[in-house]
Structure 1
Amino acid sequence: MFNPSRDQARRFFIEAWHKRQQGLPMTQLELIAADLVSLHPEYHALLGDAQNAQADIDALLAREWTPEQGEANPFLHLSLHLAIEEQLSIDQPPGIRRLFEQLSRQHGERHAALHDVLECLGETVWRAQRDRAAPDGAAYLDCMRRKIRAAV
Structure 2
Amino acid sequence: MLFNPSREQVRQFFCGAWHKHTQNNVLTPIESMAVEWIVQHPEYHDELNRPDALEAEYTVEGGQTNPYLHLSMHLAISEQLSVDQPPGIRAAHDGLAQRIGAHEAAHEIMECLGEVVWEAQRLGKPFSNDTYLELIRQRSTRHGR
Q: 2:65 aligns with which of 59, 64, 72?
A: 72
Structure 1 or 2: more helix by fraction: 1
Alpha-carbon shift at residue 132 of structure 1 (Å): 2.0
- What TM-score results when the alignment is normalised by the length of structure 2? 0.94
Structure 1 spans left out of the alignment, 5+ residues: 51-55
Alpha-carbon shift at residue 133 of structure 1 (Å): 2.2
User: Considering only aligned residues, what root-mean-square deviation do their CA atoms show, in Å?
Assistant: 1.0
> How high is the sequence identity, in percent, across the aligned residues?
46
Q: 1:143 aligns with which of 124, 131, 135?
A: 135
SS at the partner of 1:111?
helix
Give the equivalent residue in structure 2 for 1:115.
Answer: 107
The one-letter amino acid paired with 1:34 is V
Residues 116-141 of structure 1 deviation map (CA, whole Å, 9 limit, x = unaligned): 11111111111122122221111110
How many pairs align?
143
Q: Distance in 1 between matches of 2:9 and 2:120?
A: 23
Give the equivalent residue in structure 2 for 1:100.
Answer: 93
Q: Distance in 1 between matches of 2:35 and 2:112?
A: 23
SS at the partner of 1:67?
coil
Q: Distance in 1 between matches of 2:16 and 2:75?
A: 15
Residues 59-110 of structure 1 deviation map (CA, whole Å, 9 limit, x = unaligned): 2222221211111111100000000000001101110000000000111x21
> Within 5 Å, which residues of 2 pair with 1:1-150?
1-47=2-48, 49-50=49-50, 56=51, 59-107=52-100, 109-150=101-142
Residues 10-69 of structure 1 deviation map (CA, whole Å, 9 limit, x = unaligned): 11000011111111111100000011100101001111x33xxxxx1xx22222212111
Q: Distance in 2 between matches of 1:132 and 1:6?
A: 23
